[in-house]
Structure 1
Amino acid sequence: MAKDQTTRICCIGAGYVGTCTSAVLAYKNPSVRITVVDTSEAKIGAWRSRSFPISEPCLQEILKQVVERLAFSTDIEAAINAADLIFICVDTPTVTKGTGEGFALDTSAVVACVAKIVEVSTSDKIIVPCGTADQLRKLITQKNTKGLNFEVLSNPEFLAEGTAIHDLLHPDRVIIGAENTPKGSNAAARLVSLYQAWIPSDRIKTTNTWSSELGKLAANAMLAQRISSINSLTAICESVGADIQDISQIVGLDHRIGPHMLQASIGFGGSCFEKDIRCLVYLAESLGFRHIARYWMADLEMNDFQKASQTERITSLLGPLASSKLTIAVLGFSFKAGTTDVRSTPVLTIVRDLVGRGHKVKIFDPKAKKEDIQETLCKANLGRERAIVSLNAMQACDGAHVIAIATAWDEFRTRPGLRRMDWKSIADGMQQPRLMFDGCNVVDAKYLEGLGMKVLELGRKQAML
């Protein structure tokens, strides 16, 4: 293995992060061969057949261009032995039982991967995991009986679903953490060289592994904090008559703050923000910093409040009608626009609360798979007789008393030029009181009111019906 050259990479985990990262690395490094491996034959089969298991803009186009140097396989041992560098891109959910329950990261899948690498390797390896590097180094020391050299690097991903390929091609930064040893520095340099194929050197930051890992948690926690900060003002706006969109603009025009992540919503979701904040809370608690833990915990509590309060606002506006068994259409179920991911979606809270109040809920999402939505509802013990997944928006809205827009898909916008739905037919097919709750502020209230709807907007005052 040449000292400064990486020619073969193995990526363990054929999911969202592993496949997107491998595709872009192969695209930008023509001399490198990458094998993405997974224990799931169905997942590998889907990638091979081009029936892609995830939807991500531009991913399909890149995969077509790297077909000769990016392979998918279930032969994990062979891929490990052929590789110089191994990325571990497996799930690290929050611990559900035992120490750290509800907060710590469950790194058992990562640990299993590292144990497998040490067991089957016949040559030195550079390992890039998605877990605690110190923990993995200790594991390697215990299991390495062959005298091989295993260097562990930290290379956290900063991908947003819906823009992952763009994020990889045009990153704000790439962070690489390594041990401060000659071998650690050499391993980091080899990973740096892969990214330098397209990323300027001043955007590639090398540091120690703790700084790398904590930096990832801090970035996601602060992004989530911005969302919760603007969301915390929606209830105040609704009470006093201020406009949350004006507030977002006023705040965002301050160059010290900027406009990003200041769009009010029903709450943040997805697989990263809450998980990383919980991990940060657990880390602070374990180090004895309880005030710091409570500080970040407040962000999660604010997000829970934001999700739960939307159902309260809808029902309070309905007045006496709220006690009736109404039909409510929920438009959008993925945790944000631009992704099919329904994991930890904030929309589930609204659906569960509405069903719990005896209402019938009909759900439509233009991108999320019907079976994924149904699986999420099933796990939440929401029977199909009360929570129905519709094939299109018209079907979901037909006969509805209330429509709630929960995900900011362009399909739901009403501005001329962006309008894709027949809102007049939808309005005509609704039952009184024909209430529209816009939880994403994507519709023109005056336009829908002209069609006979009553519009309730997030972060804006509304009189009783």
Structure 2
Amino acid sequence: MSLKITVIGTGYLGATHAAAMAELGFEVLGLDVVPEKIEMLSAGKVPMYEPGLEELLARHVAGLPGSSGRLRFTTSWEEVGAFGDVHFVCVNTPQKHGEYACDMSYVDAAFGSLAPVVREGSLVVGKSTVPVGSAARLAELLPEGVELAWNPEFLREGFAVQDTLHPDRLVAGVRSERAEKVLREVYATPIAEGSPFVVTDFPTAELVKTSANSFLATKISFINAMAEVCEAAGGDVVKLAEAIGYDDRIGKKFLRAGIGFGGGCLPKDIRAFMARAGELGADQALTFLREVDSINMRRRGHMVELAREAVGGGSFLGKRVAVLGATFKPDSDDVRDSPALNVAGQIHLQGGQVTVYDPKGMDNARKLFPTLGYADTALGAVRGADVVLHLTEWREFRELDPAALGAVAAERVILDGRNALDPVLWREAGWTYRAMGRPAA
């Protein structure tokens, strides 16, 4: 008998996981406590932008023309309990307001609602990013005869479908051979394709995601610290990164200097990691992450300073600033802790007239920063601008025609906050080009 799978929480992680499980051939039931979200997903629509996800949903949501019918959605915990052999918990774990620590209220609520309805012999699988030690505590909330496993997610926004169907690794924190066997059955297809399957205890499984994100954050902040040194010494951080990236112990990835990282994962994960280490009495082991976080936040302020210099060095009052990018990264509509919007907001608060354009993040940006100006195109944002800030490295921005933009800008000055544009191309079109960590480039 094929396993029946439920996915609890149908946000970014849950919607992707539910659709991917249906693609792998399982019957899937997704649950959310927000009826509007369930209605939307049941119509084959997703509440966020993620390449390929809507097409994947349409292939499997019951009731849609030509679909497999393997995927349904509900708001009923009783239906989930009766249906599922394996229950994936995919709810959000945001940062607590005013603290570094992780807010576990959604996870606790999910386990509290699932425990009374789950069938004996079922396996509950945590995918949410939680502080180490949470799995052991949550296992106690489940009734006798129901096991827990921890299977952290490693989704990259913009590549979530690929990362779920063809993961670069699968981690299974388990307490029994049976739990491992069930997870191997769930992931039989990617395992057969060569995805490594790493079996661990609960604490190790919980630590993998935060450790990986801390390492990536450290690498990004390292090259941004080198950019600060390059600014002081007259060096070129792009050439520096190229040279050290050829060392295969270091590698080229995540060595592009700029305005730093943001989003819903890296910032809150490293802060929650520091908070949990403190609770465990191991806070000294992670003190370096404070500097990683500090370097990252400093980059945003530095871009504001560069923009102020570019408009004359005094005040932003009366100056028009175009911001290309609102999302924290390309191929996403996610504006959570977006460095681009943070910079735009700071300049606006200092009196600048800011106009933002982003290919996918406009609606979310407007909700978060309703007082900023918004344009429907890059050309519209740049019209009349005294300085242009490139802050999210969308392909659309790399392919812009500098001459066409130059014809509508008040001043041809561009600050490349992502070191992603071609300086030669822009300078040939009469622009003053400046990038972080490249004072002489």
Q: Same-fold call, TM > 0.5? A: yes
Q: Are residues 1:220 and 2:213 paired?
A: yes
Q: Are the counterparts in 1 of residues 81 and 119 from structure 2 also a CA contact under 8 Å?
A: no
RMSD of the alignment, in Å?
2.0
1:251 to 240, 244, 254: 244
Q: Tell me the CA shift for residue 154 of structure 1.
A: 0.5
Q: Please give the secondary structure, in 2, of the residue aligned with 1:120.
A: coil
Counterpart for residue 401 of structure 1? 386
**Correspondences of 1:115-134 after superposition (within 5 Å):** 115-129=112-126, 130=128, 131=130, 134=133
Counterpart for residue 205 of structure 1? 198
**Correspondences of 1:223-242 after superposition (within 5 Å):** 223-242=216-235
Residues in 2 aligned to 1:161 and 1:266: alpha-carbon distance in whole angstroms: 18
Counterpart for residue 195 of structure 1? 187
Counterpart for residue 77 of structure 2? 76
Q: Please give the secondary structure, in 1, of the residue aligned with 2:434.
A: strand
Report which stretch shifted further, 312-321 or 187-196.
Answer: 312-321
Q: Are the counterparts in 2 of residues 362 and 396 from structure 1 also a CA contact under 8 Å?
A: yes
Residues in 2 aligned to 1:435 and 1:177: alpha-carbon distance in whole angstroms: 52
**Correspondences of 1:255-274 after superposition (within 5 Å):** 255-274=248-267
Q: Letter of the aligned partner of 1:161 in structure 2?
A: E
Counterpart for residue 341 of structure 1? 334
TM-score, normalised to structure 1, is 0.88
Q: Tell me the CA shift for residue 65 of structure 1.
A: 3.0
Q: Tell me the CA shift for residue 450 of structure 1.
A: 2.9
**Correspondences of 1:308-323 after superposition (within 5 Å):** 308-320=301-313, 322=315
Q: Letter of the aligned partner of 2:33 in structure 1?
A: T
Q: Are the counterparts in 2 of residues 133 and 152 from structure 1 also a CA contact under 8 Å?
A: no
Residues in 2 aligned to 1:377 and 1:365: alpha-carbon distance in whole angstroms: 13
Counterpart for residue 307 of structure 1? 300
Q: Tell me the CA shift for residue 324 of structure 1.
A: 4.1
Counterpart for residue 175 of structure 1? 171
Seen in structure 2, the aligned counterparts of structure 1 residues 462 and 401 have a Cα distance that, compared at 3 Å, is farther
**Correspondences of 1:24-35 after superposition (within 5 Å):** 24-28=20-24, 30=25, 32-35=26-29
Counterpart for residue 278 of structure 2? 285
Residues in 2 aligned to 1:202 and 1:359: alpha-carbon distance in whole angstroms: 50
Seen in structure 2, the aligned counterparts of structure 1 residues 390 and 33 have a Cα distance that, compared at 3 Å, is same
Counterpart for residue 51 of structure 1? 45
Residues in 1 aligned to 2:142 and 2:435: alpha-carbon distance in whole angstroms: 58
Q: Please give the secondary structure, in 1, of the residue aligned with 2:257.
A: coil
Seen in structure 2, the aligned counterparts of structure 1 residues 446 and 134 have a Cα distance that, compared at 3 Å, is closer
Counterpart for residue 332 of structure 1? 325
Seen in structure 2, the aligned counterparts of structure 1 residues 143 and 71 have a Cα distance that, compared at 3 Å, is closer
Q: Tell me the CA shift for residue 109 of structure 1.
A: 0.8
Q: Are the counterparts in 1 of residues 341 and 365 from structure 2 also a CA contact under 8 Å?
A: no
Q: Tell me the CA shift for residue 282 of structure 1.
A: 1.0
Q: Are residues 1:23 and 2:19 paired?
A: yes
Residues in 2 aligned to 1:136 and 1:321: alpha-carbon distance in whole angstroms: 53
Q: Are the counterparts in 2 of residues 115 and 140 from structure 1 also a CA contact under 8 Å?
A: no
Report which stretch shifted further, 15-24 or 204-213.
Answer: 15-24
Q: Are the counterparts in 2 of residues 95 and 106 from structure 1 also a CA contact under 8 Å?
A: yes
Q: Tell me the CA shift for residue 19 of structure 1.
A: 1.4
Alignment size in residue pairs = 431
Q: Please give the secondary structure, in 2, of the residue aligned with 1:404.
A: strand
TM-score, normalised to structure 2, is 0.92
Q: Tell me the CA shift for residue 189 of structure 1.
A: 1.4
Residues in 1 aligned to 2:285 and 2:438: alpha-carbon distance in whole angstroms: 33
Residues in 2 aligned to 1:186 and 1:66: alpha-carbon distance in whole angstroms: 29
Q: Are residues 1:63 and 2:57 paired?
A: yes
Q: Tell me the CA shift for residue 61 of structure 1.
A: 3.1
Q: Tell me the CA shift for residue 299 of structure 1.
A: 0.9
Gaps of 5+ in 2: 62-68
